[in-house]
Amino acid sequence: MIKFVGARLPRPNFAKFSCIGSNSILSFFVRFVSPIFLFISVERLEIRHTNY
């Protein structure tokens, strides 16, 4: 699992995250919350397009 995270994230960012200490929480946030946020923003843009 650690290798998978290292492969997905760029090396400097991964080093920065490991320095923080709450690595599991931060990786969870980066993996799940940011994709959901991007999906919601895309959905909003599509809804605006259809409304106009």
Structure tokens, 5: 């995270």
pTM above 0.75, yes or no: no
Ordered alpha helix ranges (H), the chain: 2-8, 11-20, 23-28, 34-51
3-state SS class at 31: helix
Residue 37 pLDDT > 80: yes
Please, what is the end-to-end C-alpha distance for the chain in angstroms?
Answer: 45
**How many structural domains are present in the chain?**
1
pLDDT band at 8 (very low <50, low <70, confident <90, very high): low
Show the domain range for 26.
2-51
